[in-house]
Amino acid sequence: MRTLLNNPDFRRLFAGRLVTNAGDSLYFVAAMWLVWDLTGNELYTGLAGFLTLAPAGLQFLFGPLVDRWPLRRLLVATQLLQGLLVLSVPAAHLTGHLSVWLVLAVMPSLALLNQLVYPAQTAAIPRIVDTDELVAANSLFALAYQGVDAVFNALAGVLVVVVGAVALFTLDAVTFALAAALFSTLSVPRADDTGVDRGPESETPTEAPTRGVEPTPDGGRVPEEAVPEREETAADGSPDAAASDGNGGASGYLADLGEGIAYLQGTFLVPMLLGSVVINFALGGTVAILPSYAAHVGGVDGYGYLMAALAVGILVGSLAASSLAGLAFGRLSIAAFLLSGAAWLGAVAAGRLPVTVALFVIAFVPVGVTNVLIVSVVQAVVPETLLGRVTAVLGSASAVSTPFGALAGGAAASFVGPVAVITVAGVAFLLLAIYLASVPALRRLPAVGDIDTLATERRPT
């Protein structure tokens, strides 16, 4: 990991991730609690969870854009737009126009922009680090995401009491501005069909390109007619938004999108995604009613601690992923989620905040381990020119059930209470373990370093 942090571009990307995740943690806790505080109704927090989580199901639509657009510019633009959006809440508060409906409008808008941010960051990593550094790089990114969440989720619960939820939106806007400044210094090589480095995105040619010729890998030039057109250059020397095959517009976009979906057909990720649908539905319900559950066991401070527990568990698992990468992934996943289910149900049964928080940490450790290992496999096997699309499709498919779980969880909690809804999530972890054990293609998966194809036809022993 020390070598990674000596890489200036990775260091800038990592620092930007740290800053923006800190702001996101403060914002999400503040927003969910603000909705609960304004309404006192689980139906509204369920709706808030649905609106915040639903855009993740649309992430596949943004994959072709991530593969087309310069990643540095994309990251900077999304951070600036998100900063402006969060400022609308404190502005409405100052003018006396704050309502739950404004908060419910801002939450999905921010989430929609994040569907560009996360695939872009994932696509940038393999362009700036070596293949043998991918697991370590993803572990550090998980540290940025979950470690910061662990600290700032708990901190947000305290700050909501001290300074109020609205003030956290102002602080969040500052973090977006800082992240944009960090991302603006990145130099990310552009992906090429042949795997040849076409130079950093931030690079502007110092002389006019030679018409009718194209550089070859060894620095020579061949006639333009001999090679397919892959990229156009705008007047300022930056890559145009044309499709990588030279066809712009809707047809090129749809073709790119189709490639990302088609690539996943016949891979072990498809049955794995089917299992994640069930657990993500249950987890969506948990996120939606967690403010209500926290109000029963510890108030706003309890909400912060519970959110922090989820983040700490994933963080510990993410950091442990490198040391577990040598184990058979299929068997590791089965054992891990059995542990998750047992710890989760124990947390609910305990009924006391300190014990509940500790067991929630344990329940989410396997989530961190499997997330890092799966992402590392995808980054190592999928071609760079498809990585944005494939990552976005995976993100959408795995998250599509989460917002509906939030909506259902909020509605169910208003009738049967939050404890029953959270109990269902613990059962879902156990069901996931059983499902993984019942599917041979998943049960037999070898160590991630031995996976050189995603195809299910490969039958590891």
Q: What is the pLDDT of residues 343-387, one digit of tens each?
A: 999 988 887 888 888 999 999 898 888 888 887 777 777 777 777
pLDDT for 118 beyond 60? yes
The pLDDT value given to residue 278: 82
Average pLDDT, the chain: 77
Rg for the chain (alpha carbons), in Å? Answer: 22
* Contact of 134 with 379, CB cutoff 8 Å: yes
Looking at per-residue pLDDT, the higher value among 200 and 36 belongs to 36
In terms of average pLDDT, the best of 142-146, 148-152, 442-446 is: 442-446
- Identify the band that residue 438 occupies on the pLDDT scale cut at 50, 70 and 90: very high
pLDDT for 419 beyond 50? yes
Region 207-223 average pLDDT: 35
- Identify the band that residue 201 occupies on the pLDDT scale cut at 50, 70 and 90: low
With a CB cutoff of 8 Å and minimum separation 6, the contacts of 456 are: 266, 267, 268, 270, 271, 441
The pLDDT value given to residue 252: 67
The pLDDT value given to residue 178: 92
The distance in angstroms from the start CA to the end CA of the chain is: 32
pLDDT for 341 beyond 90? yes
Lowest mean per-residue pLDDT among 9-18, 109-118, 162-171, 239-248: 239-248
| Rounded alpha-carbon distances, angstroms, from residue 335 to 80, 329, 332, 437, 453 | 42, 10, 5, 9, 24
Q: What percent of the chain has pLDDT over 70?
A: 79
The token duo for 74 is 């994309």
- Identify the band that residue 196 occupies on the pLDDT scale cut at 50, 70 and 90: very low
pLDDT for 217 beyond 80? no
Region 232-249 average pLDDT: 41
The pLDDT value given to residue 195: 42
CA 415 to chain centre: 32
| Domain at 8-188+261-450: CATH architecture | Up-down Bundle (1.20)
Looking at per-residue pLDDT, the higher value among 22 and 452 belongs to 22
The pLDDT value given to residue 131: 78
Domain residues of the chain, as ranges?
8-188+261-450
pLDDT for 408 beyond 70? yes
The pLDDT value given to residue 338: 94
Region 187-213 average pLDDT: 46
Residue 218 DSSP code: T
Residue-wise pLDDT for 19-66, tens only, equals 878 877 788 888 888 888 888 888 888 888 888 878 877 777 777 777
pLDDT for 150 beyond 80? no
- Identify the band that residue 236 occupies on the pLDDT scale cut at 50, 70 and 90: very low
Beta strand segments in 89-147, E: none
CA 322 to chain centre: 19
Name the helix (H) or strand (E) containing 215: strand 213-215
Lowest mean per-residue pLDDT among 199-208, 283-292, 295-304: 199-208
Per 3-state DSSP, the chain is made up of helix, strand and coil in percentages (nearest 5) of 75, 5, 20
237: left (phi over 0), alpha (psi -120 to 50) or beta: left
Q: Which of 440, 294, 280, 307 is nearest to 370 (CA)?
A: 280
The pLDDT value given to residue 250: 61
Region 176-200 average pLDDT: 70
